[in-house]
Chains A and B, each alone.
Chain A
């Protein structure tokens, strides 16, 4: 009986192993990235140049990545992670340090961005910026004008002043379902430190959010892209990239929907999508090669031109299309950049408090 089993196992192994070898023979790079977040030609060029086959998977919400990482194993070699997650992930030793000697193109990085990213990743040891942007206001130009007149949309007051927001309630308002986006914006509007961890401040922000809640149709972190593009809503607090994508789709659909993106004059939160290598990555070399490849100025520019996001690579700017570089929604003017802020993550206790507050805001209870 035992012998039979062993023989069977050997047979099974002999059947499985050659296939395994064949797989191991061709180097592979498994990438996990947001959807619509790369120029496919860049991946092809990378494979052509290095001989490394790219297995490319996408996700729609950071929570998916976070859960995979929290469970202890992702199976990927390179992941795009939003910077706000880094401070929690780094102490858990989820990432491998980026060996800068193997990534010479890091010399082209934009110091302004790199130094802000360092707030989440001290010393820039684990994360390399991929794209960055802001959290601002996307709106349907015609519908907002019809309801609020010609006054420019340039302030958080359109969101946080119930008198103004109520006029937009009938045509639809979406806001992000994310505490780390909505609380800092509310704090900033109230003239408080957007990075405040004081419970009193957070309570004030929460009360402000409670006030505008009746005029919000939905708290959701991705649906507003379609909703804006289709003309179903007239205002959304969202990520710059998503709103610009909605603008593009609306234009392509040619249904007379004109979407605009505004960075409020009070300032807005900056976000950074960064490349990280999981600690258990099977092919770290290929991951480093890829980081180097996408930071080659021409390649970085090609990528940004395609997806229309601002690159963390400064040298890429001279290769960018003027339409991308001169779009203040993508590349804000220096004075606007100066007003952008970043935040540090909440500690566990504060996070739970904020979560509770947020749930109450959302449910109105």
Chain B
């Protein structure tokens, strides 16, 4: 044997692939990690009458020691000690979870009907789902104020139908916030579920029927498991923005509506407490990471299904 064989002929190929993969990773690093680090560093600072309104400020490597010494976990301690924040997080998770479940309940039949509709109708149905996005989000939320306000559209309809004689008083309640969030994020739920359902081979349902499974049972044993990636993606796409939502609770919520997005806004803008609001944001990120990890695991488990 004169020339030793190349121990790994695929190596250069893999290197090339690795470089290709590195590009989006670098983007992620630049666009996500950098702002994250800035926020994280801010959360370790203290408020100060300064520009920008926190201390310490970066003054070069020469004073690195002083800089690091001035950072502390005080803001996190405050978050932990004041039950308001815990209450706000829990309330946000609760409202976001309720909204997500309701959105799923509304979106699944919608997506199902779309996926089962004649193929030539499907583009039109898709457009109909996306259509509301062509109007400003803010305007649509204001429209809900018009619908929910006392003597508003909803009251007029309900009273005309004789279902109630007093105003429902939905505006400025948690119910209105949930309604607003379900409405606003519904397309994010519908689209991935539709995409998953649409991909399901119809012969699978025929096979299930052929093997003796009644339609309702096939729905749970075949349709739902195969739509699971879409359902999970939809839930995340609704849950994650909902948990940090600010505008909807601000406009549709009442004084009882406690949401972390609003707390963050207040800390940042009204109280000018950038470090504390940064800490709120970092903790929020940690709260959000949990469902993401669950999704990752679900994906890995479902990998074999494709």
Check A-B contact in the complex, CB < 8 A.
Answer: yes
Q: Please, which residue of chain A has its CB at the minimum distance from the CB of B47?
A: A348
Complex contact A92–B49 (CB within 8 A): yes
Complex contact A364–B84 (CB within 8 A): no
Contact with A along B258-295 (1 / 0, CB 8 A): 10000100101111111000000000000000000000
C-alpha spacing A363/B87, complex, angstroms: 10
Complex contact A72–B273 (CB within 8 A): no
**A–B Cβ pairs within 8 angstroms, 17 of them:** A61-B269, A66-B272, A67-B272, A70-B272, A172-B150, A177-B270, A217-B254, A231-B151, A348-B47, A352-B271, A355-B266, A355-B271, A359-B266, A360-B84, A363-B87, A363-B255, A365-B258
Say whether, besides A72-B51, A230-B149, A365-B87, A355 and B269 are in contact (CB < 8 Å): no
Chain B contacts for A53, CB-based, 8 A: none
Q: How many A-B residue pairs have CB under 8 A?
A: 73
Contact with A along B32-70 (1 / 0, CB 8 A): 000000000000000101111100000000000000000
Residues of B99-155 whose CB lies within 8 A of A = 149-151
Complex contact B84–A92 (CB within 8 A): no
Complex contact B255–A355 (CB within 8 A): no
Cβ-based interface call for A356 (8 A): yes
Say whether, besides A92-B51, A348-B49, A352-B271, A363 and B150 are in contact (CB < 8 Å): no
Say whether, besides A63-B269, A232-B149, A219 and B255 are in contact (CB < 8 Å): yes
Q: Please, which residue of chain B has its CB at the minimum distance from the CB of A71?
A: B52
Residues of B224-256 whose CB lies within 8 A of A = 250-251, 254-256
Chain B contacts for A172, CB-based, 8 A: 150
Of B53, B250, B270, which contacts A70 at CB under 8 A? B53
Secondary structure call for the B interface = loop
C-alpha spacing A86/B84, complex, angstroms: 30
Chain B contacts for A231, CB-based, 8 A: 151
Contact with B along A327-365 (1 / 0, CB 8 A): 000000000000000000000100110011001101111
A: number of interface residues (CB 8 Å): 39
Of A70, A171, A227, A363, which contacts B51 at CB under 8 A? A70
Complex contact B83–A365 (CB within 8 A): yes
Q: State the Cβ distance, B4 to closest chain A Cβ, in Å.
A: 38
B: number of interface residues (CB 8 Å): 29
C-alpha spacing A360/B51, complex, angstroms: 29
Give the 7 A-B residue pairs with the shortest CB-CB distance, closest first.
Answer: A63-B269, A355-B271, A72-B51, A70-B53, A232-B149, A363-B258, A218-B172
Residues on B close to A: CB < 8 A?
47, 49-53, 82-84, 87, 149-151, 172, 250-251, 254-256, 258, 263, 266, 268-274
Complex contact B268–A67 (CB within 8 A): yes
Secondary structure call for the A interface = helix
C-alpha spacing A232/B152, complex, angstroms: 9
Cβ-based interface call for A91 (8 A): yes
Q: State the Cβ distance, B59 to closest chain A Cβ, in Å.
A: 16
Chain A contacts for B271, CB-based, 8 A: 351-352, 355
Complex contact A363–B272 (CB within 8 A): no
C-alpha spacing A70/B59, complex, angstroms: 19
- Other than A72-B51, A352-B273, give 19 A-B pairs with Cβ distance below 8 A: A61-B269, A64-B269, A67-B269, A70-B51, A70-B272, A70-B274, A71-B51, A71-B52, A91-B49, A92-B49, A94-B51, A218-B254, A219-B255, A355-B271, A356-B84, A362-B255, A363-B255, A363-B256, A365-B258
Contact with B along A62-103 (1 / 0, CB 8 A): 011011001110000000000000001001101000000000
Cβ-based interface call for A216 (8 A): yes
C-alpha spacing A232/B273, complex, angstroms: 34
Cβ-based interface call for A188 (8 A): no
C-alpha spacing A124/B225, complex, angstroms: 71
Q: Please, which residue of chain B has its CB at the minimum distance from the CB of A214?
A: B255
Cβ-based interface call for A252 (8 A): no
C-alpha spacing A346/B84, complex, angstroms: 22
Contact with B along A105-131 (1 / 0, CB 8 A): 000000000000000000000000000
Chain A contacts for B149, CB-based, 8 A: 227, 230, 232
Q: State the Cβ distance, A57 to closest chain B Cβ, in Å.
A: 18
Chain B contacts for A64, CB-based, 8 A: 269
Complex contact A363–B53 (CB within 8 A): no
Q: Please, which residue of chain A has its CB at the minimum distance from the CB of B268?
A: A67
Cβ-based interface call for A213 (8 A): yes
Of A72, A171, A217, which contacts B255 at CB under 8 A? A217
Chain A contacts for B266, CB-based, 8 A: 355, 359
C-alpha spacing A88/B82, complex, angstroms: 27
Of A213, A216, A223, A355, which contacts B270 at CB under 8 A? A355
Q: Please, which residue of chain A has its CB at the minimum distance from the CB of B142?
A: A226
C-alpha spacing A72/B274, complex, angstroms: 14
C-alpha spacing A352/B84, complex, angstroms: 14
Q: Please, which residue of chain B has its CB at the minimum distance from the CB of A362?
A: B255
C-alpha spacing A64/B83, complex, angstroms: 28
Chain B contacts for A356, CB-based, 8 A: 82, 84
